[in-house]
């Protein structure tokens, strides 16, 4: 994906045709569709200083889990905004952080780290 407002087709691990769109909005939002229906999204917020983005929410229909779609959505936003941050894996409700990862979100971030889509530099400081 080259810029905001662009869409890109992606064939997932099960051969399904997925359309991933980076909406032309601020903060950005990534949505993915299959057969014309929205099946997932990534939402971001300004974090600490204007222009610094933090992943606030990630969602993907469970029928589409473990097919590479979440990782591909992260990969597409990273091509346009390589300095985005993701929640620290240590954040949770008891640490006083309002934004933290679900089990599925943590699995997505770990997969993106393993596959070189994001690096340790993309993890928000504790």
Tokens of 64: 């589409």
pTM, two decimal places:
0.92
Tokens 């889509």 appear where?
117
Cα distances from 109 to residues 16, 25, 29, 34, 46, in angstroms, run: 23, 23, 17, 23, 19
Domains of the chain: 7-119 (3.40.630.30)
Instruction: Summarize pLDDT for 13-54 with one digit per residue, the tens.
Output: 999 999 999 998 888 899 999 999 999 999 999 988 777 899
Q: Where are the beta strands (DSSP E) in the chain?
A: 7-11, 17-22, 29-34, 37-47, 49-60
Residue 1 has pLDDT above 70, yes or no: no
Handedness of CA 87, 92, 93, 96 (dihedral sign): negative
Tokens of 103: 């089990």
């Amino acid at each position: 994906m080259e810029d905001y407002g662009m869409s890109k087709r992606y064939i997932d691990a099960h051969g399904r045709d997925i359309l991933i769109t980076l909406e032309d909005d601020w903060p950005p939002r990534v949505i993915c569709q299959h057969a014309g229906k929205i099946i997932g999204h990534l939402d971001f917020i300004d974090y600490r200083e204007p222009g610094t983005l933090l992943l606030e929410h990630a969602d993907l229909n469970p029928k589409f889990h473990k097919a590479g779609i979440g990782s591909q959505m992260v990969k597409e936003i990273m091509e346009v905004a390589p300095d985005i941050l993701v929640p620290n894996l240590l954040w949770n409700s008891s640490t006083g952080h309002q934004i933290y990862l679900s089990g599925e979100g943590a699995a997505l971030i770990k997969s993106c780290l393993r596959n070189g889509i994001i690096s340790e530099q993309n993890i928000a400081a504790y």
